[in-house]
Structures are given as structure tokens and as C-alpha cells.
């Protein structure tokens, strides 16, 4: 049975561990998944590389990509633009890979509207206190930015029930395993296997008509 790639959106509060989870998932199952690299107007954090974590571009370049229809979706998040380049996603899905977009909730809902078969996963830390600890512990933002991100988390929490699955990132290894199992299980949903069902129905009809052969 040929397998079609699933478009997967992973969202979650800033600091919930999405980036860490994605790295682990890709290193454990490198052949199963393709991670889309977004474009953003925010400045790179220490250790981030252009083309690896993000394509770091200017506001002008970002607006040109919007105008040319080169983004599947885009959104503004705490003063910066973030968007998903179309070409890579379409190519990898055609190759049969499951493509993961790690994007915030406004973008997630736009993707779901444009591609209704998208699987929506929401990552949360085990508690709000742990979220704050992780944001502070990461040490990449000022306290002001951390406050904005905690405010944004309150808004995003309102949208959690639009997602198909909630994934609690307590122990990292357990969480990666759960995420992989959810996605693999998703491949068995009947609506994702219409071509197979059609083929087996046709074959059953054909075989029913053949006489004398067991
Ligand atoms: P996000 O991409 O969601 O903003 P990160 O992946 O940058 O979050 O993780 C935020 C911080 O939390 C990082 O310092 C990371 O090392 C830490 N972290 C991620 N997952 C876990 C986990 N399961 N347990 C403890 N700390 C974690
Ligand atoms: P960060 O600045 O922490 O890397 O990302 C901030 C937020 O932007 C995160 O919630 C992340 O998931 C989201 N994000 C990253 N790329 C995209 C994108 O292409 N589109 C949208 N809508 N959100 C994105």
C-alpha cells in the first residue's frame, strides 16, 4: 500500500519544548519526517543558523514572499512575522514524507482551513510553573519578552481544544515516543486510505465474478 505523507502542525506555548522535541523526533526517525523551515523577521538567537532553525529575512523580503504567494500561511507573533514556505512542503508531501510545521495557533488554523486533512498537535509542559521555568532557564529572552510570551500563552491556551491531540512534554523521551505513535496511528485512519479501500472493493467485486477458483 503506497503511503501518502501527512501534513502535521505542532503548536504549543513558547518554552513548552517544541524545538527540543522536533530535534529529537527527527534524530530518532530521520526517514519518516521532514521538518519545514520557516521564514521569520526575528533576529537569530545565539547558535541559530540561517536555513536550519529559520530563514532569517528582512521585513521587506518577507512582504515580497507574501506578495508572490510563496508562503502557505504567515502570522505576526510578538512583533515579528513568521511564515511557512510553500515549495518545500509540497515537494516533501509528494515524496510521501510526513511534513511537520512547528507554528503558532493563528497559522495552524489557516493551514487547517486550506488543507483540512492536516493533523493538529498541541504541546504543553506539565504545568504553567514549569513553562515559566523553562523560558527563564533557556536564557534566550529578556524578562520583558518572557512576560510577553507568558501573556501570549494565556491567549493560546484558549485555542487548545481546536487541536486533535494534546501532548504533554514532561519526560522528553516518553513524549517523543508518544508523538511518533500518534502520527503512525493516524496513517491508519480510514479517510487517509481512500485509494486502498477503492482498490480492494474493486478487486473483491472482480473476484466475486470469477467462477471455479478458490
Ligand atoms: P519551544 O521551542 O517550545 O519554545 P524549547 O525547545 O526551546 O521550547 O525548550 C524550552 C526550554 O525547555 C529549553 O531550555 C529546553 O532545553 C527545555 N526543555 C525542553 N523539553 C524539556 C523537557 N521535557 N524537560 C525539561 N526541560 C525541557
Ligand atoms: P520563536 O521565536 O520562539 O522561534 O517562535 C515563536 C512562535 O512562532 C512559536 O510559537 C513558533 O511555533 C511560531 N512559528 C514559527 N514559525 C512559524 C511559521 O512559519 N508560521 C507561524 N504562523 N508561526 C510560526
CB 15 less than 6 A from any atom of ligand 1 = yes
Range 165-169 average pLDDT: 97
Three-class SS string for the chain?
A: CCCCCCEEEEEECCCCCHHHHHHHHHHHCCCCEEECCEEECCCCCCCCCECCCEEECCHHHHHHHHHCCCEEEEEEECCEEEEEEHHHHHHHHHCCCEEEEECCHHHHHHHHHHCCCCEEEEEECCCHHHHHHHHHHHCCCCHHHHHHHHHHHHHHHCCHHHCCEEEECCCHHHHHHHHHHHHHHHCCCHHHHHHHHHHHHHHHHHHHHCCCCC
Residue 213: pLDDT band (50, 70, 90) is: low
What is the tens place of the pLDDT at every residue in 90-129? Answer: 999 999 999 999 999 999 999 999 999 999 999 999 999 9
CA of 161 to the centre of ligand 1 (A): 22
Model's pTM, two decimal places? Answer: 0.92
Query: Which pLDDT score, from 0 to 100, does residue 79 have?
Result: 87
Q: Which ligand is nearest to the CA of 62?
A: 2
CA of 14 to the centre of ligand 1 (A): 9
CATH 1.10.260.40: does it fit domain 7-36+98-208?
no
Query: Which pLDDT score, from 0 to 100, does residue 78 have?
Result: 83
Query: Which pLDDT score, from 0 to 100, does residue 209 have?
Result: 82
pLDDT at 214 over 60: no
User: Which atom, in ligand 2's list, is nearest to the CA of 105?
Assistant: 22
Q: How far apart are CA 59 and CA 6, in angstroms?
A: 31
Query: Which pLDDT score, from 0 to 100, does residue 3 have?
Result: 74
Range 71-83 average pLDDT: 93
* 109-126 burial code (b ≥16 CB/10 A, e <16): bbbbeeeeebbbbbbbbe
pLDDT at 1 over 60: no
Average pLDDT over the chain, rounded to whole? 94
Q: Which ligand is nearest to the CA of 168?
A: 1
What is the tens place of the pLDDT at every residue in 48-64? Answer: 999 999 999 999 999 99
- Domain extents for the chain? 7-36+98-208
Amino acid at each position: 500500500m503506497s503511503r501518502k505523507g501527512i501534513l502535521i502542525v505542532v503548536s504549543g506555548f513558547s518554552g513548552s519544548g517544541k524545538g527540543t522535541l522536533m530535534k529529537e523526533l527527527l534524530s530518532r526517525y530521520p526517514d519518516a519526517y521532514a521538518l519545514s523551515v520557516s521564514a521569520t523577521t526575528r533576529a537569530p538567537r545565539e547558535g541559530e543558523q540561517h536555513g536550519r532553525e529559520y530563514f532569517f529575512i528582512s521585513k521587506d523580503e518577507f512582504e515580497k514572499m507574501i506578495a508572490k504567494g510563496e508562503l502557505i500561511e504567515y502570522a505576526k507573533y510578538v512583533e515579528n512575522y513568521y511564515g511557512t514556505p510553500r515549495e518545500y512542503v509540497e515537494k516533501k508531501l509528494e515524496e510521501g514524507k510526513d511534513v511537520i510545521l512547528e507554528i503558532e495557533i493563528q497559522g495552524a488554523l489557516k493551514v487547517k482551513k486550506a488543507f483540512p486533512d492536516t493533523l493538529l498537535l498541541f504541546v504543553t509542559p506539565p504545568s504553567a510553573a514549569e513553562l515559566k521555568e523553562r523560558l527563564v532557564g533557556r536564557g534566550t529572552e529578556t524578562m520583558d519578552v518572557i512576560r510577553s510570551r507568558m501573556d501570549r500563552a494565556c491567549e493560546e491556551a484558549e485555542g487548545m481544544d481546536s487541536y486533535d491531540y494534546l501532548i504533554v512534554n514532561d519526560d522528553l523521551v516518553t513524549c517523543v515516543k508518544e508523538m511518533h505513535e500518534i502520527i503512525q496511528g493516524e496513517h491508519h485512519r480510514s479517510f487517509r486510505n481512500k485509494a486502498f479501500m477503492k482498490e480492494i472493493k474493486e478487486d473483491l467485486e472482480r473476484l466475486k465474478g470469477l467462477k471455479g477458483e478458490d
